[in-house]
Amino acid sequence: MVIEIELTLCSIIQGVALYFLVDNARQVVSGHQSAAWPYVITGLLIILLFWSRSLIHTLTLIRWPLEFVHNFFYIACALIEAIAFTRLNDPFMWFVLTALYAIVVWALFVYDMRIVRLRLRDSAGLVGSRLYAMVGADQRLNIAFVIPLIFLFNAGSALAIRARPEFFLHRHGHLILISLQGIGLLIYLASVIRAFIQFVPLILATREEWRTASESGGPSSPA
């Protein structure tokens, strides 16, 4: 039940974000604003990344009881996504908002470390311990390196645009920045997909451990 709630919530809020992206992309197309197309593509990558990571979190971390704060972070992320998608023609505000988005995502990763520690305690099986050790390592990598790097790039891009508008806006130098952002997010998405492929057999085996422990009266029980 909890997993169904989590997946439904994630699908709905990312569907809302996608609506704003599609609506503003339509305006970009109808207005023949080719310089904004890289922002549309990057926006789609942001949605795919959020959905992919939330899927991994749901299948690995989420059990009873429902984590309200975790889901509140999801809603906050979707709000910032939607606002950013209304600024496809404003490179400065795009990078400001995506920097803010990185801060909220970083806070989400930090909060979810608490859930990782809970899963390590209540999933004492050999496979479960291995799975959550890998999930914890992935969380720490994102907290210490990946998300701060994304934030610094976005914040630095916003500052560069503000400092040199004649180059980044009038001469379309912002296309270099958005291209780098898109390439970086594409690489990140590829790494997330690869991590998910590695997690899948461990997720299935861990849930089998939960089921076995539940049937035998052990301390762990499936979500």
Angle made by CA atoms 124, 130, 136, in degrees to the nearest 5: 100
**pLDDT for position 223:** 42
DSSP 8-state class, residue 89: T
Question: What single letter denotes the amino acid at residue 146?
Answer: V
Q: Which two tokens stand for residue 100?
A: 């803010």
At 141, list the tokens. Answer: 């990598």
Between 122 and 110, name the one with better pLDDT.
Answer: 110
Looking at 13-27, 178-192, 200-214, which range is the least confident one? Answer: 200-214
Which pLDDT does position 207 carry in this prediction? 74
Q: Give percent above pLDDT 90 in the chain.
A: 52
Task: Give Dmax over CA atoms of the chain in angstroms.
Answer: 70
Q: Tell me how far apart the alpha carbons of residues 76 and 74 are, in angstroms, rounded to a whole number.
A: 5
3-state helix, strand, coil in the chain (%, to 5): 85, 0, 15
Identify which has the larger pLDDT, 60 or 89.
Answer: 89
Confidence of residue 212 (pLDDT cuts 50, 70, 90): low
Task: List the chain domain ranges.
Answer: 2-215
Mean residue pLDDT across the chain? 87
